[in-house]
């Protein structure tokens, strides 16, 4: 498939060219993750499903792509100051690991309710943990304080062109590995992953469908698409801890213009999708990572005539950092 030009690419924080540059920049650091399939799951879904296993990425999630691109984009002077971010999990670990590879400090602001397994990943990769309260205002204020005190460079978890470009490299790989895909289903939270995926995929194949998968208990993206503007929720309630953020001013225009629809599912459907990943694919996937499969199997998708022709679907298994305690509790409810 030939790449198509984005006539309005100047409107967006990233484009196919920055994504291609990111692919070259991070190639020696990231894993080219496998694409798996299962005849059993195909039969259950009634469609061909191809799973892009970012749960096998370094750090256990796709986030390493964006973090790596952001850190290796810095000139030596800026890099020497270190980097800072605020994150509840996978981005925190990814940035810590990427910073370790470049030999620079990483200051990671983490909310007190972050999953223990993800906090341990940050520490394992050498990140300096700074705690904040479990709300966005506290996270951002604490990160700003660290920037002021250290001079480190802020790398936002998703609302950053370098992050978006890095995440988009996953779509380049997926369409090289499975060019027959006509639809890609991607988890959505802050929008960094789906922004990169949508920009890359639709540049290569303008006819491809890009659908977002979102928990009902954190359905700000679905509401935003309906309203035509960013909607922030007063609170979120979902087992998918990686999908509780809200769209940013850089990700929203891309989601608005390139994402075809948002499919919402409840936590019970997410947990069942996790179970299927374990039992059939033999892959450990966190709730946020399983939501794409949950979306394909949901009534919201199956009964929508708009998507009846989606026959070869790429599903992003975005991460595998599971908080087992929470998972077992959810199975027993």
| pLDDT tens for each residue of 273-309 | 999 999 999 999 999 999 999 999 999 999 999 999 9
Question: Quick one: pLDDT at residue 214?
Answer: 98
pTM comes to 0.93
Ranges of the chain with pLDDT below 70: 1-10, 324-333
Q: What pLDDT was estimated at residue 331?
A: 59
d(CA 198, CA 283): 25
Tell me the catalytic residues.
Answer: 63, 88
Choices 2.102.10.10, 3.40.50.1100, 3.40.50.1370, 3.20.20.80: CATH for 2-62+160-331: 3.40.50.1100
Domain with CATH 3.40.50.1100 in the chain: 2-62+160-331, 63-154
Whole-number pLDDT of residue 205: 97
Rounded (10°) angle between helices 267-276 and 324-331: 110
The architecture CATH gives domain 63-154: 3-Layer(aba) Sandwich (3.40)
Q: State the Cα–Cα distance between residues 312 and 296, nearest whole angstrom.
A: 11
Q: Are 292 and 57 in contact (CB under 8 A)?
A: no
Q: What pLDDT does residue 330 have?
A: 61
Measured between alpha carbons, how far is residue 60 from residues 92, 101, 117, 141, 265 in Å? 12, 16, 11, 28, 23
Dihedral, CA atoms, 311, 298, 323, 185, nearest 10 degrees? 30
């Amino acid at each position: 498939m030939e790449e198509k030009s984005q006539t309005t690419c100047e409107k967006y924080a990233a484009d196919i060219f920055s994504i291609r540059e990111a692919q070259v920049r991070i190639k020696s650091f990231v894993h080219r993750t496998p694409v798996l399939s299962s005849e059993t799951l195909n039969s259950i879904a009634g469609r061909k499903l191809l799973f892009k296993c970012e749960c096998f990425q370094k750090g256990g999630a796709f986030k390493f792509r964006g973090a790596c691109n952001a850190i290796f984009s810095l000139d030596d002077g800026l890099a020497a100051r270190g980097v800072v971010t605020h994150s509840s999990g996978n981005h925190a670990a990814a940035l810590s690991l990427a910073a370790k590879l470049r030999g620079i400090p990483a200051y990671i602001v983490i909310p007190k309710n972050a999953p223990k397994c993800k906090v341990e990943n940050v520490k394992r990769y050498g990140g300096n943990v700074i705690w904040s309260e479990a709300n966005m205002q506290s996270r951002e204020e604490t990160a700003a304080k660290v920037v002021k005190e250290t001079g480190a460079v802020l790398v936002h978890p998703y609302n950053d062109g370098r992050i978006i470009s890095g995440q988009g490299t996953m779509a380049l790989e997926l369409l090289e590995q499975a060019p027959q895909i006509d639809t890609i289903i991607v988890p959505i939270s802050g929008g960094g992953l789906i922004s990169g995926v949508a920009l890359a995929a639709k540049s290569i194949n303008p006819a491809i469908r890009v659908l977002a998968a979102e928990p009902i208990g954190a359905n700000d993206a679905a509401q935003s698409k309906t309203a035509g503007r960013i909607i922030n929720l007063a609170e979120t309630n979902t087992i998918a801890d990686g999908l509780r953020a809200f769209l940013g001013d850089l990700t929203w225009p891309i989601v608005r213009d390139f994402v075809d629809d948002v499919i919402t599912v409840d936590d019970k459907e997410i947990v069942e999708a996790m179970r299927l990943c374990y039992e059939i694919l033999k892959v450990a996937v966190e709730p946020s990572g399983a939501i794409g499969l949950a979306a394909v199997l949901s009534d919201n998708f199956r009964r929508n005539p708009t998507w009846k022709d989606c026959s070869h679907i790429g599903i992003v298994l975005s991460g595998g950092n599971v908080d087992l305690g929470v998972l077992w509790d959810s199975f027993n409810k």
